[in-house]
């Protein structure tokens, strides 16, 4: 009986045009669409028939979905049907060339998209459901803001998004003409652009094509192989979603064609409604150019001179800058705070530029201002990396980024001022006071807590990639805080870290990173192990041979441990005043963290438990290195790099730094390493000096 009822229900569904597989419609403007479209948020149909998803209001979202669900899957075998759509759109930014954020063609199990957020989420998802398989969301985004959190390739691209705003595939916005020549398209130009999205279920190929004309190019702008069967439900809703952020754009759809039985109709752009005033403005421009050319020329010259004078000292504002969480300071404000970046307020000089002490005029708060030099290799991408997500990190053992500023070639970061500077100065600078053991142990525990927060306590996994003494800052009470996130990388939990360029500091750089190019939480633990030994011994992880016979600290400590002379490695400046049990525990933990085998190292959660005394350390310590020859990394390569600089002075020298370009070459050449100075810990030491 139940089988007969299911059969009858299936026949009813197939006979109902709403649930028919062969959904096919074309809208030349949206005046006559009636109840066939559902609008949410700011979306509305204007009098001339144009569908406007958002207006030029900040943090807005708009949805427009075909009201009836569309049958996308075969009931028998569960495969997805082929589908095709075309539509004409325009994005008109509030400010020229500053788009925010973009829109997407979406196929969703719901036309409400409840809980979705504007800004970088395009009105599709929110931070909590990013990447969830249960979303059953497919979208093709037309993005006008480069969001580094989602790994966007630029601020003018198309992308395929499945259950997430991290695109599975993306390409810069462009099309191929009939000569197969690639031509760029500016999505936020305000001009009408046509898009075609075609999915072939027999080959599992998705083609996305765009063009500023009524003719569909033969070569797609983006081609992506994907089986959508696991993504789609039997019935889904089709439509559009758009959003704005701190900068806004109006997103318009002029016409829309959708077909489940063949290719969607290509739209004739000349037959579609146009934006009010656009044609009129073209006529006015033509008249002005032809009859008032001389007057316009003088006018433009006058305006140019005026603008040049006005913007000479003005701050540069781009779209991505207004999407960043921390406070954006004006250049004038920071210049006043540092008294014109006076040399008397200089805290340090490094590879990325200079750090100045400043006092904010209004709040009287002391800050450290890192002014990145124009010649620095830390460009806008690295600058963004340090502020876009780092500004949202909150922990008592992390140096807080208060804000930032960009003015032409000047990039500036504003941090909490750490009155006692960096840990390395206390360990290696004879002019500094000597930290007693209690202070050192407290600093170690603080840094461990900060790293645990980065690895497990935040919404993403944060790999610092440059843990070392010069990046540990001390406040007025000598509490340790981890700073300098210029090399940090963010990963979703459970994801596999991607291969990237090898950056870091020799002596702190885990051996597997140089082989695989993948930085992990375990590689941070390796660096923390070097820091532990550094704090106990008062020696750098790698000392030039002119200073000490033992060039690699972990080798020297291991030999002392194996020979039962563990207390002999303790910093002589402590004059024998320390807790022996704590010292032995820290040395043992440092050797465990320094193991060449990543899987043999403890996690930061285990490290914190050891330091807090919640659990005891294992009785046996595995040799930290893979050989007995004292070669860090076990392959001899590190000694080659160190030997290059054995005659270098170590005064004010932070450490040897190495950087490798992306690729498979894991060798360390003369051009890939350099000795560098870092008088202040706010300066990223993972780059070369000039």
Phi and psi based region of residue 49 (left: phi greater than 0; alpha: psi -120 to 50; beta: remaining): left
Measured CA to CA, the distance from residue 619 to residue 622 in angstroms comes to 10
Tell me the catalytic residues. 466
Give phi and psi for 222, each to the nearest 5. Answer: -145, 130
Question: Each residue of 621-631: b (16+ CB within 10 Å) or e?
Answer: beebbeeeeeb
Record the tokens describing residue 479, joined without a space: 């509490």
**Three-state secondary structure of 138-175:** EEEEEECCCCHHHCCCCCCEEEEEECCCCCCEEEECEE
Which position has the token pair 């929110």?
126
- Give the contacts of 639 (CB within 8 A, at least 6 positions apart): 551, 631, 632
DSSP class of 113 = -
Query: By the 8 A CB rule, do 11 and 61 touch?
Result: no
Residues in contact with 125: Cβ distance below 8 Å, sequence separation at least 6, in sequence order:
116, 117, 135, 137, 164, 165
Both tokens of 83, joined, read 């589908």
425 is in an annotated binding site: no
Ordered alpha helix ranges (H), 262-352: 278-291, 293-311, 331-337
Terminal-residue alpha carbon distance, the chain: 83
For 679, the token pair is: 């008088």
CB 506 within 8 A of CB 655: yes
Closest-CA residue to 483 (of 397, 409, 405): 397
Number of residues written out for the chain: 690
Binding-site sequence positions for ATP:
370
Binding-site sequence positions:
370
């Amino acid at each position: 009986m139940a089988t007969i009822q299911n059969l009858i229900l299936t026949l009813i569904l197939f006979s109902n045009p709403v649930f028919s597989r062969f959904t096919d419609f074309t809208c030349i403007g949206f005046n006559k669409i009636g109840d066939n479209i559902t609008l949410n948020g700011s979306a509305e149909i204007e009098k001339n028939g144009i569908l406007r998803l958002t207006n030029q209001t900040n943090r807005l979202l708009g949805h427009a979905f075909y009201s009836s669900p569309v049958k996308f899957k075969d009931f028998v075998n569960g495969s997805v049907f082929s589908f095709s759509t075309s539509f004409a759109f325009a994005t008109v930014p509030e400010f020229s060339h500053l788009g925010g954020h973009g829109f997407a063609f979406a196929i969703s199990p719901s036309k409400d998209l409840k809980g979705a957020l504007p800004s970088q989420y395009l009105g599709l998802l929110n931070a909590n459901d990013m990447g969830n398989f249960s979303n059953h969301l497919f979208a093709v985004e037309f993005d006008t803001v480069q969001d580094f959190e989602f790994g966007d390739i630029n601020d003018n691209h198309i992308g395929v998004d499945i259950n997430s705003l991290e695109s599975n595939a993306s390409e810069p916005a462009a099309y191929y003409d009939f000569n197969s020549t690639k031509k760029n398209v500016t999505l936020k130009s305000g001009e009408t652009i046509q898009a075609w999205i075609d999915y072939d279920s027999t080959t599992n190929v998705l083609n996305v094509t765009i063009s500023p004309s009524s003719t569909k190019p033969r070569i797609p702008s983006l081609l992506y192989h994907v089986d959508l069967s696991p993504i789609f439900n039997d019935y889904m809703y089709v439509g559009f979603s758009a959003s704005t952020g701190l900068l806004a754009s109006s997103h318009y759809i002029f016409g829309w064609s959708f077909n489940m039985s063949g290719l969607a109709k290509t739209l004739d752009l000349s037959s579609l409604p146009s934006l009010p005033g656009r044609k009129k403005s073209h006529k006015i421009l033509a008249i002005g150019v032809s009859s008032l050319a001389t007057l316009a020329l003088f006018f433009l010259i006058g305006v140019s001179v005026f603008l040049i004078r006005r913007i000479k000292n003005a701050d540069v504002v781009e779209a991505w800058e207004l999407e960043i969480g921390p406070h954006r300071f004006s250049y004038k404000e920071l210049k006043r705070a540092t008294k014109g970046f006076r040399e008397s307020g200089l805290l340090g000089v490094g590879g990325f530029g200079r750090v100045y002490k400043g006092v904010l005029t209004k709040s009287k708060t002391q800050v450290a201002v890192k002014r990145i030099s124009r010649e620095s290799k830390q460009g806008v991408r690295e600058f963004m990396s340090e502020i876009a997500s780092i500004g949202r990190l909150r922990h008592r053992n992390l140096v807080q980024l208060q804000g930032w500023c960009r003015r032409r070639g000047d990039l500036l970061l504003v941090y909490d001022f750490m009155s006692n500077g960096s840990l390395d100065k206390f360990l290696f600078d004879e002019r500094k006071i000597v930290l007693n053991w209690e202070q050192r142990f407290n600093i170690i525990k603080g840094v461990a807590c900060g790293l645990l927060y980065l690895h497990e306590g935040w919404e993403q996994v944060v790999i610092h990639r440059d843990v070392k003494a010069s990046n540990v800052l001390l406040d007025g009470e000598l509490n340790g805080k981890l700073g300098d996130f210029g090399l940090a990388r963010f990963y979703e939990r459970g994801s596999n870290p991607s291969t990237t360029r090898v950056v870091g500091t020799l002596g702190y750089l885990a051996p597997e990173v140089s082989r695989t190019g993948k930085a992990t939480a375990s590689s941070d633990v390796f660096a923390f192990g070097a820091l532990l030994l550094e704090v106990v011994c008062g020696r750098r992880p790698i000392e030039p041979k002119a200073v000490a016979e033992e060039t690699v600290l972990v080798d020297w400590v291991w030999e002392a441990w194996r020979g039962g002379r563990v207390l002999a490695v303790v910093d002589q400046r402590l004059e024998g005043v320390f807790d022996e049990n704590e010292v032995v525990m820290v040395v043992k933990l440092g050797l465990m963290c320094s193991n060449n085998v990543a899987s043999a190292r403890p996690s930061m959660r285990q490290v914190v438990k050891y330091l807090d005394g919640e659990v005891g350390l294992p009785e046996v310590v595995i040799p930290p290195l893979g050989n007995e020859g004292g070669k860090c990394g076990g392959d001899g390569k590190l000694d080659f790099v160190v030997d290059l600089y054995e005659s270098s002075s170590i005064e004010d020298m932070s450490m040897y730094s190495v950087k490798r370009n992306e690729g498979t070459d894991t060798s360390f050449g003369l051009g890939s390493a350099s000795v560098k100075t870092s008088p202040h810990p706010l300066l990223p030491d993972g780059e070369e000096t000039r």
